[in-house]
A and B are shown apart, each in its own frame.
Chain A
Amino acid sequence: MTDALNRRELLRRAAAGGAFLTVPGVLAACGGSSNKSAGATSGESKTLAKTLRFSNWTLYIDVNEKTKSHPTLDAFKKKTGTTVQYTEDINDNASYFGKIQGPLSRGQSIDRDIIVMTDNSRYPSLLIKKGWLEKLDKSAIPNIANLEPALQHPNWDPNRDYSLPWQSGMTGIAYNDKLTDPVLSMDDLLDNPKLKGKITLLNEMGDTLALVMLANGDDPAHVTDATFDKAIKRIKGAVDSGQVRQFTGNDYSGPLSKGDLSACMAWSGDVVQLQADNKHLHWNLPDTGGDIWTDNMLIPKGGNVYTASVYMNYVFDPKVAALIEDYVNYICPVKGAKAALQKIDPAVAKNTLIFPTQKMLDNVHIFDAAALNNQKYLTTWQNLISG
């Protein structure tokens, strides 16, 4: 927090966070005593900081098991002199937001330059709405031209002013061919009596509602009360009849591979891994369409914009992206990484769940971010999945 806060701004921010105003709290917000913001904010300085503080999800970057290091981060240091202080402390979007909204709502920095959050949750758009993100320094990111076209204009950040994808994933239907005939549509998943009690849906509203709306013939990118209610009604019917066993996060992966589930809504990246040990598992986009979500690099308020932007530029170099992709195996947002990967690891390059075909990309949609932040919709959804 390097900008001086005038009293009105301070009170507004404190009220927004519902925080107890105490003398230490006020001093902290004003003086930033324990908050080491690494330097200047938007565009004020073009010098690289010594350290880049990068918070990411666990096991989500390339690893060299022998040296226990992250080769791309080491190479970044060699290239620019900046050490990346990499912490894997993001486990879940909601919990992470719950943790950082405390300091951010008081105008304190969270001591990070880059954080990564998923856009099938409400949090990236909520962060933008609350003004808790810094804008990227695009002049430092010429490689932004390498961004896959399908990901260039998400409805929550149409010009990519605040975010750049780290990895993506698709949501579709997985099924076990030993236990069921191919399940290729949401209609089949929700209505087929042979699947009763053997399917799960995702607890992420953005994912499940998107797929159900598409199956209803509605557009998930523009949610209205009518289309929302229709989708909810359909899902509720499936829950009440016992068709839906549970709403899960990615904990469907255990039951799916063990045969407790015949089919479920699943993320592409998980099934890539599960298939290696269970050849009977298959994943497809529903015939009516699936959705694509992205884990995005964001710069929280107080982060060093220039250094973060330089790093983002670095990972958008196809060669670097290929190295990261070879390990992470979700969907790479960088054009040209596939070509670079052909030389290193052709098996990964050929996998359509990691480098989807154009046909697949045409069949995925992004959920309406405004709907994700609609309190009424959220409450209805939570009541649905929590009985």
Chain B
Amino acid sequence: MGFLHRHRNLTPYLLLGPGLLYLAIFFVVPLGFLAYQSLESGNFDVGYSFTWAWGNYWDAIQNYRGHFIRSLEYAGIATILALVFAYPLAYWIAFRGGRWKNLLLLFIVAPFFVTYLIRTLAWETILADQGPVVSVLRDVGILGHDGRLLATSTAVVAGITYNFFPFMALPLYVSLEQIDERLIEAAQDLYASKWKAFLRITLPLSLPGVVAGTLLTFIPAAGDFINAQLLGSPQNHMIGNVIQSKFLELTDYPAAAAMSFVLMAAILLMVAIYARAVGTEKLTG
């Protein structure tokens, strides 16, 4: 392995090479087609032609501004909820899971084995108007006497949270599991309470996982459409639904393409702000 020693400068490029080449061919090139399409104009009947139609972008922002904002909102809330719910669970598996850790991780991704449609139907059964959950909520007063959970923004956000839970939980676990318990013991030997030890030692050390989980949850959730379609009313639809319908029903490919790029730009902007807020490369890599 002297080769890598002598050609130290080459190593990162050799490591990056295969993966980035793969993405260059099978992602960047298709993205190029999409970019080309986004600047086309015309309609499906007579055909589209490339005309540097920047107007598509402007139309997308102007006409569907509400949907963009709503999507970022729903995705943001769902991400925070996922973080709050997943962190203690990931912590428990990492520190108390013992030899059963891998099995417990399997339980986290279990819902994905039964496909999205089936698990959403199951949730519709659980959250049905006539079902136990809604009845209890009505009795307790959280819901009005005629209130419902399904076909509301609550259901959409809950659906996104549930369906993206593993994307938050697994990176959190990965980061937490690495923490050496002796550090925590040492802190407690030095008279820190359990809670303080957590805040001063565990939490900071798990921040890479928090950042990773947040990104892996928020980014795809912003473009999601299926939760809004099945669990939401028309007022809850996200930009993903609009892109879906522009592409499939209206066969307006330039509009769908332009909208997708606007969404991607919005997401990346938020990611950049987030990365800056979180701080150093030590956390984001």
Question: Could you tell me if B250 and A375 are in contact, using CB atoms closer than 8 angstroms?
Answer: yes
Question: Could you tell me if A386 and B150 are in contact, using CB atoms closer than 8 angstroms?
Answer: no
Task: State whether the Cβ of A343 lies closer than 8 Å to any Cβ in chain B.
Answer: no
Task: State whether the Cβ of A4 lies closer than 8 Å to any Cβ in chain B.
Answer: no
Task: State whether the Cβ of B130 lies closer than 8 Å to any Cβ in chain A.
Answer: yes
Q: Which of B158-166, B211-219, B239-247, B263-271 contacts A (4 or more CB under 8 A)?
A: B239-247
Bitwise, A253-274 to B at CB < 8 A (1) or not (0) is: 0110011100000000000000
Q: Which of B20-28, B77-85, B88-96, B226-234 contacts A (4 or more CB under 8 A)?
A: B226-234
Distance (whole angstroms) from the CB of A256 to the closest CB of chain B: 11
A18 to B67 Cα, complex, angstroms: 27
Enumerate chain A residues within 8 angstroms of B49, measured Cβ to Cβ: 15, 18
Q: Which of A17, A246, A251 has the most CB of B within 10 A?
A: A246
Known contacts A20-B36, A258-B125, A387-B235; decide if A15 and B249 are in contact (CB<8 Å).
no
Question: Could you tell me if A197 and B36 are in contact, using CB atoms closer than 8 angstroms?
Answer: no
CB contacts under 8 Å to B, within A197-248, are: 197, 239, 244-247
Interface size class for chain A? 35 or more
Distance (whole angstroms) from the CB of B249 to the closest CB of chain A: 5
A379 to B66 Cα, complex, angstroms: 17
Task: State whether the Cβ of A360 lies closer than 8 Å to any Cβ in chain B.
Answer: no
Question: Could you tell me if B245 and A386 are in contact, using CB atoms closer than 8 angstroms?
Answer: yes
Question: Could you tell me if B150 and A16 are in contact, using CB atoms closer than 8 angstroms?
Answer: no
Task: State whether the Cβ of A145 lies closer than 8 Å to any Cβ in chain B.
Answer: no
Known contacts A197-B148, A255-B150, A386-B237; decide if A129 and B250 are in contact (CB<8 Å).
no
Q: Which of A12, A16, A98, A385 contacts B234 (CB 8 A)?
A: A385
Question: Could you tell me if A386 and B121 are in contact, using CB atoms closer than 8 angstroms?
Answer: no
A378 to B131 Cα, complex, angstroms: 37
Question: Could you tell me if A260 and B148 are in contact, using CB atoms closer than 8 angstroms?
Answer: yes
Nearest CB in chain A to that of B242: its residue: A386
A258 to B131 Cα, complex, angstroms: 9
Enumerate chain B residues within 8 angstroms of A20, measured Cβ to Cβ: 33, 36
Question: Could you tell me if B236 and A260 are in contact, using CB atoms closer than 8 angstroms?
Answer: no
Q: Which of B46, B241, B248 contacts A97 (CB 8 A)?
A: B248
Question: Could you tell me if A98 and B43 are in contact, using CB atoms closer than 8 angstroms?
Answer: no
Enumerate chain A residues within 8 angstroms of B19, measured Cβ to Cβ: none
Question: Could you tell me if A18 and B253 are in contact, using CB atoms closer than 8 angstroms?
Answer: yes
CB contacts under 8 Å to B, within A110-133, are: 122, 126, 129-130
Nearest CB in chain A to that of B129: its residue: A260
Q: Specify the main secondary structure of chain A where it touches its partner.
A: helix
CB contacts under 8 Å to A, within B102-158, are: 121, 124-125, 128-131, 146, 148, 150-151
Q: Which of A94, A245, A259 contacts B151 (CB 8 A)?
A: A245
Task: State whether the Cβ of A382 lies closer than 8 Å to any Cβ in chain B.
Answer: yes
Enumerate chain B residues within 8 angstroms of A382, measured Cβ to Cβ: 242, 245-246, 249-250
Question: Could you tell me if B128 and A255 are in contact, using CB atoms closer than 8 angstroms?
Answer: yes
Question: Could you tell me if B251 and A101 are in contact, using CB atoms closer than 8 angstroms?
Answer: yes
Question: Could you tell me if B129 and A246 are in contact, using CB atoms closer than 8 angstroms?
Answer: no
A352 to B4 Cα, complex, angstroms: 77
Question: Could you tell me if A260 and B128 are in contact, using CB atoms closer than 8 angstroms?
Answer: yes
CB contacts under 8 Å to A, within B12-34, are: 33
A114 to B248 Cα, complex, angstroms: 21
Enumerate chain A residues within 8 angstroms of B247, measured Cβ to Cβ: 98
CB contacts under 8 Å to B, within A278-318, are: none
Question: Could you tell me if B124 and A254 are in contact, using CB atoms closer than 8 angstroms?
Answer: yes
Known contacts A387-B67, A387-B236; decide if A259 and B249 are in contact (CB<8 Å).
no
Q: Which of B45, B131, B241 contacts A386 (CB 8 A)?
A: B241
Nearest CB in chain A to that of B248: its residue: A94
Enumerate chain B residues within 8 angstroms of A378, measured Cβ to Cβ: 249-250
A101 to B131 Cα, complex, angstroms: 43
Known contacts A15-B49, A16-B47, A20-B36; decide if A258 and B248 are in contact (CB<8 Å).
no
Give A residues with C-beta under 8 Å from B. 12, 15-18, 20, 94-95, 97-98, 101, 122, 126, 129-130, 197, 239, 244-247, 251, 254-255, 258-260, 375, 378-379, 382, 384-387
**With A98-B251, A254-B124 given, can you name 7 additional A-B contacts, CB distance below 8 Å?**
A16-B46, A18-B47, A129-B45, A197-B148, A378-B250, A387-B67, A387-B234
Q: 10 interchain pairs (CB within 8 A)?
A: A15-B47, A16-B46, A126-B251, A245-B233, A254-B121, A255-B124, A255-B128, A258-B125, A260-B129, A375-B250
For the complex of A and B, the 9 pairs showing the least CB-CB separation, nearest first, are: A94-B248, A16-B47, A18-B48, A386-B237, A259-B130, A387-B237, A260-B129, A382-B245, A387-B234
